[in-house]
A and B are shown apart, each in its own frame.
Chain A
Amino acid sequence: MVHWLPLAAFVPLVAGALTPALAHGRPGLARGWALAVTAFCIFATAALTRRVALEGPFSYAMGGWAAPWGIELRFDEFSAAALFICVIMLLVLCFSGPYVRRAVPAARITWYYSLLLVNLGGMIGFVVTADLFNLFVFMELVAVSGYALVAVGGGRTAALAAFKYLMAGAVSSALILFCIGVLYALTGSLNMADVALRLATVESRAPVLLALAGMTAGFLVKAGLFPVHVWLPDAHAIAPTPINAVSSALLVKLGIIGLLRIFPLFGAAGVVSLAPLYEALAWLGAISILAGAFFALFQQDIKLMLAYSTISNIGYIVLGLGLAGELAVTGASIHVLNHALIKAALFLAAGAMIHQSGYRTLHDLRGIGRVMPWTTLALLVGALSIVGLPPTAGFLGKWYIALGALEAGRPGFAVAVLGGALLIFIYFARMLNAFYFRAPSHEEMLAVREAPASMLGPVLLLAALCVLGGLFGRWPVLLIAPGVSRLVGGG
């Protein structure tokens, strides 16, 4: 059916708006409604991904108006990320059943599920749209629901963390909108393909340069790269666990996908060359890998540690994009998808532990391996894959990026890739040693029971996906190969 593409973004948004009305008298209905809508989205995005794998990218003209006049939705290889977004959102919704009943005040639960559906619809819309201003609108939808979801838990500093996240996000959104305005003033159109075409004939250099630099900076702030990451650790650690998983695995990836959308815009522009930008991205990525891993070593709170390791992995992806080689960009795109699975598994497993035991720091969680064997096993698999050991999903992305660095004749970056992996390995070795081999530091630890089924299921499924992603890594690589060659060729 050709209408899956607009419906994939349209249905969850309308469903999100109806959630409070439908679930007014019946609070239990909100979660069921959200699960049903997310299942529909998985079905729709799976059909779209199958079609792009067979036929290549295809477009949909909203309202029947052709491209530059109406809004065009375009599903290409990178939009296949929508399938990963829906799968992880379904598992997060399944996980948040028992968790939210205790962590979120009762009056807010209906609004929690409504915001999650709006977040899902905004993310799917963001990855499929081919119109610059529409990209901004969906980005704002994801951003506003993301800020509120960070503060929904209502902890002592949750509102402050959400406010810092809001300020960083709003400033970068204003900068991105300013650059969209510059591009509109230069070309008179908002459709990405049309803008790229008309930018080639623009002769004034300064506005194009500013638009490129401004949008890249804006999206890097949203991706939480090292120098502009200040809002990320608190926002990702203080929120309820399902929201940590959504924001660390998915929201930061939208910044990266935004970069992948704007680079082709300036590829054809004669007045500006992307080489210096790629060089800067490579250096920023390498610094972010080491800085993120380095800060992670000093964290006692396991959620803060996972947040800093997100910054390190975003550094891997940006380094991959910066090297701009075929291998490196393939590695970066693969890592966008695989890291989403790994980080979701790690955050949900860690969240389940905190939920059951009530402790958050490494010292207090000693010996949890004995009382929560399955959750800790999932955390072990997640740890192995985030370090990047061969059979797991994390290995693929980092291996391609390291090869890309060597192919580009930059052994220094390959060393940065391995160095980051080593730093993270040290931390995880200490963590797993504390969970399995150290005596519990609190007697209550022995009374802790395994997480309930609806929390344990998603955690184990995500851990299995991490391993499957590694074993069957060829399929995603083949799926996005044409997209990467188009990006690198045009870039």
Chain B
Amino acid sequence: MAGLWGNIDYAAFVVLFCIGLYIIIAKQNLIKKLLGLNIMETAVFAFIVTSGMVDGGTAPIVGAGATGPFASPLPHALILTGIVVAVSITALALSLIIEIYRQCGTIEADELKGAE
């Protein structure tokens, strides 16, 4: 099992995950929270895609003349689904933000707390 230096990529993605989490909790603007959520989800996708990587590997396309070790196609198929899930949640969240602004006139979480 490689130490933290061997998995520096994973460590970077965990840091990105936590930056996203920080933005969601600390920032008040709802759109900023949503960007933080996107950063967090993209970090998880990057982690899974990187786990499918192989040294000196090429894209998993086995056409004529393609040689060498191939990256594992399974994580790529998973993350294609993950990215579509992320954009669906983002589209819905943005519509809710537009509806919140239409109903309450503000998209700052602390002001909304009073409006309830």
Contact = CB atoms under 8 A, between A and B. Distances in A.
Interface stretch (A87-95, A151-159, A257-265, A313-321): A151-159
B104 interface: yes
Contacts of A371: none
A156 B103 contact: yes
A217 B104 CA distance: 32
A181 B82 CA distance: 12
Interface in A154-169: 154, 156-157, 159-160, 162-163, 166-167
Contacts of B104: 156-157, 160
Given A163-B30, A184-B75, A151 B85 contact: no
A133 B21 CA distance: 22
Given A163-B96, A174-B40, A178-B47, A144 B30 contact: no
Nearest to A238: B116
Given A151-B96, A160-B104, A181 B44 contact: yes
Contact of A177 (B37, B44, B112): B44
B78 A159 contact: no
A104 interface: no
A261 to B, nearest CB: 18
A167 B24 CA distance: 8
Contacts of B93: 163, 166-167, 170
Interface residues of B, number: 32
B73 to A, nearest CB: 12
Contacts, number: 81
A154 B92 CA distance: 14
A159 B88 contact: no
A181 B51 contact: yes
Contacts of B47: 178, 181
A177 B44 CA distance: 7
A137 interface: yes
A213 interface: no
A170 B103 contact: no
B96 A144 contact: no
A129 B103 CA distance: 40
> On chain A, which size bracket covers the interface?
20 to 34
A162 B21 CA distance: 19
Given A133-B78, A177-B44, A166 B85 contact: no
Interface in B60-113: 74-75, 78, 81-82, 85, 88-89, 92-93, 96-97, 99-100, 103-104, 112
A167 B38 CA distance: 11
A160 B17 contact: no
Please indicate which of the listed interface residues A133, A148, A151, A159 has the most CB atoms of chain B within 10 Å of its own CB. Answer: A159
A204 B81 CA distance: 29
A177 B82 contact: yes
B21 A171 contact: yes
B96 A170 contact: no
B92 A178 contact: no
Contacts of A66: none
B37 A163 contact: no
A185 B51 contact: yes
B10 to A, nearest CB: 9
B1 interface: yes
Residue picked from B37, B47, B48, most chain A C-beta under 10 Å: B48
Contact of B37 (A144, A156, A167): A167
Given A167-B24, A167-B37, A159 B75 contact: no
A380 to B, nearest CB: 32
A147 interface: yes
B92 A148 contact: yes
A163 B48 contact: no
A301 interface: no
27 contacts: A133-B81, A137-B81, A144-B89, A157-B104, A157-B115, A159-B100, A160-B96, A160-B103, A160-B104, A160-B112, A160-B115, A163-B93, A167-B24, A167-B93, A170-B41, A171-B21, A174-B37, A174-B41, A174-B44, A177-B41, A177-B44, A178-B44, A178-B47, A181-B47, A181-B51, A184-B48, A204-B1
Given A156-B103, A159-B100, A160-B96, 4 more contacts: A137-B85, A144-B85, A156-B104, A157-B116
Interface of B: 1, 17, 21, 24, 30, 33, 37, 40-41, 44, 47-48, 51, 74-75, 78, 81-82, 85, 88-89, 92-93, 96-97, 99-100, 103-104, 112, 115-116
Interface of A: 133, 137, 140, 144, 147-148, 151, 154, 156-157, 159-160, 162-163, 166-167, 170-171, 173-174, 177-178, 181, 184-185, 190, 204
Closest 8 A/B residue pairs (Cβ)? A159-B99, A181-B48, A185-B51, A163-B96, A159-B100, A204-B1, A159-B96, A178-B44
